[in-house]
Amino acid sequence: MNSAAPTLLRWTRFASNSRGTGAEKRSAQIRALCEDAGLGLVDMQPPAAVPRWRVWVGGLAARLRLGAGASVDRAGPGLLGYRAAFYRDALARHQGARVLLWETTYDSLLPALAGAAGYRVVALPHNLESFVTATAFANPGRQTFLALADEVARLAAADAIFTISKEERWLLETQRLGPHYLPFFPDPVLADDCRQVRTRRESRARPDGSVAGPLLLLGSAFNPATARGMRRQMEWLLEAGAPGGGITVAGNQTETVFADMAGRGVRLLGSVSTEVLQGLLGDCGALLVDTEGGAGAVTRIPEALLAGVPVIANTNAGRDQFGTSGVHVYDGPTEFQALVRRPLPVPPAPPRPAAEQERFQQTLRRLAAANQAHRRPAR
């Protein structure tokens, strides 16, 4: 990185980890795109503590200025005050371009303070938060859409918006926010891992192009929605008779949440290392994905496709990938059971979303050039 390159500021809850969770991989992708564009990126770091008087004064001021919409989780003045102090200090300390990448789009406080400090704000929501809160999962309905109205108002404060899914771009476009689409695609480190898996699979492919191996389910079972989808797939598989290649299940807490499935043709591995995961992807027949509710996009799918792994997904999980070669979508147990018995060939590698990535990078370069040496008036 050129030491004279413009440096942007970012607020995200997630580490830029190429081999981490889906959210961490998205943050890693965004960092890699910035660096490829010749831009530095500094992540805001929350302080260990903020003086109590600043917490309460800042919290009350935020609530008076922004009302209940100051925080998506309706936090009290204490947490709002902590955030206000943290945001103000981080914005003031930043020595680079007055451009903020806003990944953690939970509250309206940060864009308001950033705008007042002369920053241009680029929103990069990992998903529409209104659809993934505990309340939304427990009691979907009218309250979710009321929360969505608040979220749209928050995002309207941004100077540019880039969504991870086509569906979210369309939804925000109906509100005339002018969003852009920036799909998930593995960053260079993860992409290299995927290509190594693809090489292994192509060397093992049978004449029909498929790889003989177990069906693979990946997911964190501590997430109730994820666990329900994984259990549904296992039950459908066992109902029709366990496939000859077997069923392998991996992910955090899968060995305990699905303990009752052990010994029924299901191999439970729990959390696995990167090396073990690469081996599982290299040897499996297909990756199975079943999600319900939620928002954003399933990052495992483009990763699996780059690795040469065919994906069998329900319509919700495959929503951003309809028509993509290698993604086989089902609606209900009959279609699912038919798909898992078909030999599925190694899919072609998906192309890098060059146009969408270039649009994102050009936006950042333009904003950085216009806001490098001066601040805009407070608004």
pLDDT at 204 over 50: yes
The tokens for 36 are 């490829």
Residue 132 is predicted with a pLDDT of 77
Residue 224 is predicted with a pLDDT of 82
Residue 51 is predicted with a pLDDT of 66
Collapsing DSSP to helix, strand or coil, 309 comes out as coil
CB atoms within 10 A of CB 13: 12
More confident residue, 65 or 324: 324
Handedness of CA 46, 49, 52, 53 (dihedral sign): negative
Residue 378 is predicted with a pLDDT of 42
pLDDT at 216 over 70: yes
Considering the chain, what percentage of its residues have pLDDT values greater than 70?
87
Angle between helices 354-370 and 22-36 (to 10 degrees): 60
Residue 50 is predicted with a pLDDT of 63
CA dihedral 164, 356, 313, 229 (to 10 degrees): -10
Residue with structure tokens 């939970």? 106
Residue 148 is predicted with a pLDDT of 87
- Give the model's confidence band at 293: pLDDT under 50 very low, under 70 low, under 90 confident, else very high: confident
CA dihedral 61, 65, 69, 73 (to 10 degrees): -10
Span of 83-92, 118-127, 344-353 with lowest mean pLDDT: 83-92
Residue range(s) in the chain whose domain bears CATH number 3.40.50.2000 = 7-185+354-370, 188-339
- Give the model's confidence band at 63: pLDDT under 50 very low, under 70 low, under 90 confident, else very high: low
The strand pair at 160-163 and 266-270 is best described as unpaired
Fold assignment, 7-185+354-370: Rossmann fold (3.40.50)
More confident residue, 108 or 358: 358
Residue 47 is predicted with a pLDDT of 82
Angle between helices 22-36 and 188-204 (to 10 degrees): 110
Burial class, 29, CB count within 10 angstroms (exposed 0-12 / middle 13-18 / buried 19+)? buried
Outline where DSSP puts E strands in the chain. 7-11, 40-43, 99-102, 120-123, 160-163, 180-181, 215-218, 247-250, 266-270, 286-289, 311-314, 327-330
Range from 44-53, 206-215, 289-298 that averages highest in pLDDT: 206-215
Residue-averaged pLDDT of the chain: 89
Residues 77 and 59 sit within 8 Å (Cβ to Cβ)? yes
pLDDT average, residue stretch 339-366: 97
For 22-51, give the DSSP string.
HHHHHHHHHHHHHHHTT-EEEE----S---
More confident residue, 32 or 297: 32
pLDDT at 375 over 50: no
The tokens for 252 are 């955090």
pLDDT at 49 over 80: no
Residues 123 and 162 sit within 8 Å (Cβ to Cβ)? yes
Give the Cα separation of 270 and 217 in Å (integer): 11
Give the Cα separation of 171 and 178 in Å (integer): 10
Residue 45 is predicted with a pLDDT of 92
> Which tens digits make up the pLDDT trace of 296-313?
899 999 999 999 999 999
Collapsing DSSP to helix, strand or coil, 231 comes out as helix
Residues 347 and 310 sit within 8 Å (Cβ to Cβ)? yes
Residue 76 is predicted with a pLDDT of 58
Fold assignment, 188-339: Rossmann fold (3.40.50)
Residue 46 is predicted with a pLDDT of 86
- DSSP conformation class of 350: P
pTM of the model: 0.90
More confident residue, 222 or 144: 222
- DSSP conformation class of 298: -
For 240-292, give the DSSP string.
T---TT-EEEESTTHHHHTGGGBTTTEEEEES--HHHHHHHHHH-SEEEE---
Residue 226 is predicted with a pLDDT of 85
- Give the model's confidence band at 363: pLDDT under 50 very low, under 70 low, under 90 confident, else very high: very high
Handedness of CA 40, 41, 47, 52 (dihedral sign): positive
The tokens for 220 are 């964190």
Q: Which residues in 195-211 are b (16+ Cβ under 10 Å) and which e?
A: eebbebbeeeeeeeebb
pLDDT average, residue stretch 134-151: 69
- Give the model's confidence band at 61: pLDDT under 50 very low, under 70 low, under 90 confident, else very high: low
> Which tens digits make up the pLDDT trace of 243-282?
888 999 999 999 999 999 988 889 999 999 999 999 999 9
Residue 83 is predicted with a pLDDT of 81
pLDDT average, residue stretch 200-218: 96
Q: Which residues in 117-149 are b (16+ Cβ under 10 Å) and which e?
A: bebbbbbbbbbbbbbbeeebbeeeeeebeebbe
Give the Cα separation of 240 and 250 in Å (integer): 22
